[in-house]
Structure 1
Amino acid sequence: MKNILLICGSGASSGFMAAAIRKAAKKQGVELKVKASSESQLDDMIDDTDILLIGPHLSYMLDDLKTKISGKDVKVAVIPQAVYGSLNGPKALEMISEMEN
């Protein structure tokens, strides 16, 4: 089972997105764990993470976050604004599936 971590500034908006992904995964019969957090808690959670998704408003931090997790087997991507802003769980789940391959 894959462990997905979504981060945003405070953890609030990523919580809504995580819920949308969990709902889509359940509907499609996909097993995964999705947690939401603020970026300040990344160090505490990264060891239990397979895929790190970043809210689009933190895209400026992508390079720093990649550096922070270097050496760990974690895939990282920024969720597109169109997906994040509309809380499109199925589209985010599709993005996660593509990252696994």
Structure 2
Amino acid sequence: MKNIFLFCDAGMSTSLLVSKMRESAKVHNVDVEIQALPFGKSFEIIQNNKADCILLGPQIKFLLKDIEEKCEKHNIPLDVVNSIAYGTMNGEKVLKQAIKMIKANQNK
């Protein structure tokens, strides 16, 4: 099972997107655990090496540089959720983005 974390300002705006991602994972039989959390929890998740992939909500993309080095140190792929997929709550597209990141990281 792979662990995907989405971080936003308070962890609430990504909750609906996470629900959509879980629905898509279930339909496609993808074994993942997906959680939405406030950005303040990101350092704990990274430090404890609990993530296989981290995505930031578009509204906090300005914080990308704040955690980029920490993610690299722990070999955790990091990106910002595609803003169109986020705005349309396209869980399948965001799930594909995360899976692609995880696979690319495994092939390094």
* Shorter-normalised TM range: over 0.9
Match of 2:23 in 1: 23
1:84 corresponds to 2:103: no
Equivalent pairs, count:
101
Misfit runs of 4+, over 6 Å: none
Task: Tell me if structure 1 keeps the 8 A contact 2:20–2:90.
Answer: yes
Provide the rounded CA distance (Å) in 1 between the counterparts of 2:69 and 2:17: 25
TM-score for both structures, normalised by structure 1? 0.92
TM-score for both structures, normalised by structure 2? 0.87
Task: Please list, as runs of the form range in 1=range in 2, the aligned pairs for 1:6-17 lying within 5 A after superposition.
Answer: 6-17=6-17
Amino acid at match of 2:75: D
RMSD over aligned Cα atoms = 1.1
Tell me the percent identity.
29
Residue 35 of structure 1 aligns to a residue whose secondary structure is strand
Task: Please list, as runs of the form range in 1=range in 2, the aligned pairs for 1:26-45 lying within 5 A after superposition.
Answer: 26-45=26-45
Amino acid at match of 2:26: K
Gaps of 5+ in 1: none
Provide the rounded CA distance (Å) in 2 between the counterparts of 1:69 and 1:94: 20
